[in-house]
Amino acid sequence: MGSVRAVSGKRAVTSEEAAEQVVLASHVMGSLGDDLTLGHVSVRHSNDICMSIKRKGISGSEVTVEDVIEVRLDEVDCLDQPRMHLEAIIHTEIYRERPDVGAVIHGHPLYATALSATEAKVEFLTHDSVLFKDGIGMYKDSADMVTTEKQGKAVARSLGTCRATLLKNHGVVLVGEDIRYAVLAAVTLERALQIQTVANSLGVLSPLSDDQVRDIYPRKYKDSFLDEYWAWWARQFDQVK
């Protein structure tokens, strides 16, 4: 598997940097449990015009820079390519709806997907859950694949201003200001839900108060910490910045 020479987690300036970000993020998602070849990661370039996205047909753990497709978001038929994921419309519609979003991940990790099949919600039990202080959306229109513009727009609307939205009985979509935050959202949501599952089995839940959530968030999720997390992920996959 080809290695990535240098990986920055900030908004990508070049096509090469964007491809490297998609590779590393895909590998992190694979470490959560590859969902066959079905998950996909994308990043929006700093020019706001281009998007780089993993191609279909391979798992997240397998992705190399040669497996990343670049498209122009201002082209109507930008997704009309043979190697494009069928649900890539999720990415383009979120980018069009949310100018603040720099990266999108869609996958089917175990705990988030399980949550999508329930009426439960993420409880503020730990610092991990605080990342989702604005809540988590839910796309309920269908449990089928999201392949049309209408469906993609509905997913984007269900996301609202949140970092994540569940696709009912299907999976999850996670976003971030850049790829660092999107990957953190994916990793942290799974961990928060694992802890919640264990806590539920041990006794009555004792969530953080709204005041505690508000106070913890700015101290826990500083931008400088994101650089450290991204560098650690890079080290795990021998991709040293």
Tell me the CATH number at 184: 3.40.225.10
- Bridge partners for 137 per DSSP: 165
**pLDDT tens digits, residue range 72-99?**
999 989 999 999 999 999 999 999 999 9
**238 domain residue, yes or no:** no
According to the model, what pLDDT value does residue 239 have?
57
CA angle 116, 118, 123 (to 5 degrees): 85
**What is the model's pTM?**
0.94
Give the domain range for residue 177. 15-233
| 167 sits in which H/E element | strand 164-167
**pLDDT tens digits, residue range 52-76?**
999 999 999 999 999 999 999 999 8
| 19 sits in which H/E element | helix 15-31
Interatomic CA distance for residues 213 and 54, integer angstroms:
35
**125 domain residue, yes or no:** yes
**8 domain residue, yes or no:** no
According to the model, what pLDDT value does residue 237 have?
84
According to the model, what pLDDT value does residue 157 have?
98
CB 175 within 8 A of CB 103: yes
According to the model, what pLDDT value does residue 9 have?
86
CB 188 within 8 A of CB 95: no
According to the model, what pLDDT value does residue 129 have?
98
Which residue positions in the chain have pLDDT lower than 50?
A: 1-5, 240-241
Is 44 strand, coil or helix?
strand
According to the model, what pLDDT value does residue 6 have?
55
Q: Which two structure tokens, joined as six digits, stand for 174?
A: 């996670």
End-to-end CA distance of the chain: 18
**188 domain residue, yes or no:** yes
21-54 burial, b for 16+ CB within 10 Å, e for fewer? bbbbbbbbbbebebbeebbbbbbbbbeeebbbbb
**239 domain residue, yes or no:** no
**pLDDT tens digits, residue range 156-167?**
999 999 999 999
Sheet holding 50-54, edge to edge: 68-72, 50-54, 40-44, 103-107, 171-176, 164-167, 137-139
**9 domain residue, yes or no:** no
Number of structural domains (the chain) is 1
Q: Give Cβ neighbours of residue 215 (< 8 Å, ≥ 6 apart).
A: none
163-174 burial, b for 16+ CB within 10 Å, e for fewer? bbbbbbebbbbb
Helices (H) and strands (E) in the chain, counts: 8, 7
SS3 helix, strand, coil % of the chain, rounded to 5? 45, 15, 45
**241 domain residue, yes or no:** no
**5 domain residue, yes or no:** no
